[in-house]
Structure 1
Amino acid sequence: MPDLLMEKDGPVVVLTLNRPARRNAMTLAMFARLADAWDEIDADTDVRVCILTGAGEHFSAGMDLRAMAGDVDDGDDYDVKGRMEREGSDWIYDGLLKTRHPRVPVIAAVEGNAIAGGTEILQGTEIRVAAEGATFGVSEARWSLYPGGGSAVRLARQVPFTVAADILLTGRHLSADEALRLGLVGHVVPDGTALERALEIAATVAANGPLAVEAILRTLRGTSGMTEAEAFQFEAPL
């Protein structure tokens, strides 16, 4: 069974991290497939919105530590070693939505754990739906690791600075309710219904003008950190 599922229904694509037995811990092959999926979505002009979710009871427990050590699953048919030799490793961060912004909005539908890389890839999405029992956290410091998925930079741009520092330096976990209060997620729904709610939101977004949605996205993403005057100059050509 593929470790990343891609299903298209009209203008909506659903990407599902599919290693439920490992709480959808991400491997190098999964990062590669995610990077390829973003390329495929960008190339398909019929796609207007994407949902990212996890199979089973959890969103993602982060990066598989074996993958962190550079191990490659010999049972996986993706040529990770070959891609490393050809392209280096930048595609890992594209897969994680650190160095890549897809053309369309990405909605996260989170059940269960979204820890470490699970919360890091979450920060690259635009709209976030969490089940009541969801848990978030950037726990790398507990393991003497640096949060390489971007959290040391962008978490403080998405929640108050002192809260981001607390989360990053203690490695503590957040409940769905706390994540909602902080603005890390936008919706909290009953357990088992995160994907259902995400699909409803996706349908609403997909019904809007696609050029308007893409222009709004470019402005939201491109003006982060700019002064108001700089941001208005950025959006003027749009």
Structure 2
Amino acid sequence: MTEGSPARERLALAVDLPLDQGLALYAQVAPFMGYAKVGLSLFVEHGPAAVTAFQKLGGRVFLDLKLHDIPNTVELAATRAGALGVALLTVHAAGGEAMLKAAVRGAREGARSQGHPPPRVLAVTVLTSLSAEDVTAVGLTGAPEAAAQRLAQLAVRAGVDGLVCSPREAEGLRRLLGPSPLLCTPGIRPAGAELGDQARAETPAFAVRAGADVLVVGRPVHAAADPVAAARAIATEVSFG
């Protein structure tokens, strides 16, 4: 695999680090990872400045806020996110159809107001940290795969651009929904890596074969003795599946 290959546009680095460390790390691995995923911790601490900092490095920002509130509140927040020029924005599918529609509407309007391409709004189905027992405990019926499929169908009807699911649900969602929704899979762990708090993790090759479009990787790169080598190896695995 060469730097700048198509695999780069399928990989997102979760920059859940202090901002200066996250920027330094992303600058190192950017040849292999096209997205910088700005999550709650960075955004709570730094706000829009965290987004613009990674954009200045050439990263496409994946703003992972998992919005979940009443439709009006989510629409306002999505409008602000769209105005920042982010590429991807997450909301919770469990927020319901009206909220999902409001998120899409807000994100598109915010981007239009500033002359940006509209972000893709991704609906989170079942968090990858939840086991089958956890899914039952929070009130969802059936196995995680069944819950993810129900939430995914709801979200697609509401007009979202894609879905966030574990690699284990991706194949079933692709069969159910066809090629159009973008499927994003966190919980990516190279073979032999520590699972941490991910209950339904899989390897990059597994996720690619299952139909994932964008893979989110964090700790396997953060914690690597050589982050560049780790990112290169993951990109190679994505390229050849």
Pairwise TM-score range, normalised by the shorter structure: 0.3 to 0.5
Structure that is richer in helix per residue? 2
Q: TM-score, normalised by structure 1?
A: 0.35
Normalising by structure 2, we get a TM-score of 0.35
